[in-house]
Amino acid sequence: MDVLNNKKYGAHILALPYPSQGRINPMLQFCKRLVSKSLKTTLAITNFISHSVRPISNTVGIDTISDGFDEGGYAEADTVVTYLERFKKIGSQTLADLIKKYEKSEFPITCVIYDAFMPWALDVAKDHGLIGACFFTQACAVNYIYYYVHQRKLTLPISSPPVRIPGLPELELRDMPSFIYIHGTYRAYFELVLNQFINVDKADYVFVNSFYKLEAEVVDTMSKVTPVSTIGPTLPSLYLDNRVENDIEYGLSLFHVDASTCINWLNTKVEGSVVYVAFGSMSTLDNEQMKEIAWGLKATNCYFLWVVRTSDEAKIPKNFIEETSEKGLLINWSPQLQVLSNKAIGCFFTHGGWNSTTEALSLGVPMVVMPLWTDQTTNAKLVQDVWSVGVRVNFNEKGFVGREEIEKCVRTVIEGDKGKEMKKNALKWKDLAKEAVNEGGTSDKNIEEFVSKCTK
C-alpha cells in the first residue's frame, strides 16, 4: 500500500530546503515530525540532488525543482553569485510550476516552508495565496546577530569590541560569525545570510532549528521583533522521544557509509574513552593543520576515531597510521549519530557546525571545538561559555591550531574535574532536548500550534 496517498491528511506542506546535506536533513526531519501529526508533506529538492542520492522516504513525499544546474549542481556554476542568481530565477519558476501541479491533485499545497536562504520562495508562496513559513537552520543566536547587522544596528567593521546585543553574552570579535569578524570575506555568502531577513516580516511563521531552553534569552529577545518558534532539535526521533515511527536515521545522505567497521571497533572500547574527530562535509584543512591534529591526537594517548575524507588522506603524516594503529581508527565517513550515541565516546572534536553541535548536545557528548568559518565561531563561544559543555581551541599566530593545544584541550574534556563537569552539563542538555520534543514540550507545543492553524 502507498502510505503517502492512502491516508487522510489535514493539510499539505511543501518543504523547500537549501540544496546541501546540512540543510536538507533538518528540513526532512521536521517534515517527518509533521507527518506524525497527520499533515501530508512533500520535500522539494533540486534535480541534481535527486539524481545524486535517489532519496526514498516511506512517509515524506519527494518532488523536485530546478536550481538551473541540473547536471552538476553548485559545482557547475562558475561563482557563488552565478549560482544564487540562477537558483532564484529558475527556482522561482519551477516552484510555481510545482505548486500548480499539485493544484490539480487530490492534495493541493496549503503551506510552503522554505529555508531562510531562499526568501524568494516566500514571494512565490504568497503569489499563490499560500501560507509561508520561514525555516532558520542555524542557532537563534547566530540568526539574531545577522538580523542586527541587516537592520544596521551593528556597524561593520566592528571597531570597539566587545559587542553587546540584547539576549546574548558579550561577544569578542572572534565570537562573531566569520563573515563579520573578518569583514569583507565571502561577500556573496554574507549577502545570503543578511538577505534571510528581507521579507521575513511577511512570513506567517518563523521556525528555528533549536529548542527553547537552550536559547531562551535570545529567542525571547528576537521574538519581540520577529516572533520565532523553536521546533528542534531535528534529530531522528529514535535519539530523542522515539514517538515518530521508524524514524531511525536522516534518510538522505550525499555520502554512503558502511557503519559496521567503526561501530564494531567502538564496541570494544571502555565507556567514555574515545575521542571522535570529524569536521563536517564542507570543511577543508591544509597539510599543516592535518599534521598538527594527527600528532596532537597521538600525544593524548587516547583512543580516537578520525573521519578523514578520501581527498585528505594524502595530508596524513607519513608513518602516523602505523604508529597509532593500536589507538586509532581512520575512516572516510561515519554514521555520526550511531557514533555519538555509542557509550565509548568521551569527547567530540568538531568544527562546531550547528547540526554537529545539536547532535552532541542531544546525545550528551562534551566537545572540543575548532571553528573554521561562518556560524561555527559563535557556536564555539556558546559551547564553552554559555552551555559549558566543552572547550574552544586557540589558533596560533600562524593561523592554525598546534598539537600541544589540541592535546591540552582533549585532555581537559576527557580527563579530570573540568571534564566531569562538562559531561554532567552535556547530560543535562540531553534531557532538555528530549523534553522539548516530547509530548507537551516547548517544540512539540509550537509544532502542534502550527498544525492546528494549517488544518483550520
pLDDT of residue 1: 31
- Say how far apart CA 229 and CA 105 lie, in whole Å: 31
Confirm whether 150 is domain-assigned: yes
One domain, residues 316 and 445: no
Confirm whether 245 is domain-assigned: yes
State the CATH number of the domain containing residue 103.
3.40.50.2000
Closest to 383 in 3D by CA, of 364, 368, 396: 368
Which residues have a Cβ under 8 Å from the Cβ of 371 and sit 6 or more positions away? 178, 351, 352, 377, 379, 380, 392
One domain, residues 242 and 286: no
One domain, residues 287 and 243: no
- Counting the structural domains of the chain, the total is 2
Confirm whether 3 is domain-assigned: no
One domain, residues 181 and 306: no
One domain, residues 296 and 428: yes
pLDDT mean by block of 10 residues, the chain; 456 residues: 55 96 93 96 96 81 97 94 97 98 96 98 98 98 97 94 97 96 91 97 98 98 96 97 92 70 96 96 88 98 96 94 96 94 98 98 98 96 98 95 98 95 98 98 98 92
Measured between alpha carbons, how far is residue 266 from residues 48, 258, 307, 318, 335 in Å? 35, 14, 14, 25, 12
One domain, residues 224 and 340: no
Q: What is the residue range of 266's domain?
A: 259-433
Confirm whether 174 is domain-assigned: yes
Helix axes 187-194, 80-103, angle to 10 degrees: 40
Q: Is there a contact between 358 and 336 (Cβ–Cβ < 8 Å)?
A: no
pLDDT of residue 52: 86
One domain, residues 36 and 116: yes
- Say how far apart CA 226 and CA 238 lie, in whole Å: 32
One domain, residues 186 and 319: no
Which residues have a Cβ under 8 Å from the Cβ of 184 and sit 6 or more positions away? 157
pLDDT of residue 101: 97
Compute how many other C-beta atoms are within 10 angstroms of the C-beta atom of residue 403: 17
One domain, residues 84 and 232: yes
Question: ω into residue 233 within 30 of 0, thus cis?
Answer: yes
One domain, residues 219 and 235: yes
Confirm whether 35 is domain-assigned: yes
pTM surpassing 0.85?
A: yes
Measured between alpha carbons, how far is residue 227 from residues 80, 232, 417 in Å? 31, 16, 40
Confirm whether 5 is domain-assigned: no
pLDDT of residue 21: 85
Confirm whether 451 is domain-assigned: yes
pLDDT of residue 280: 87
- Say how far apart CA 185 and CA 372 lie, in whole Å: 13
One domain, residues 327 and 417: yes
One domain, residues 143 and 271: no
| DSSP secondary structure letters along 85-150 | HHHHHHHHHHHHHHHHHHHTSSS---EEEEETT-THHHHHHHHTT-EEEEEE-S-HHHHHHHHHHH
Confirm whether 163 is domain-assigned: yes
Beta strand 345-350 with 205-208 is: unpaired
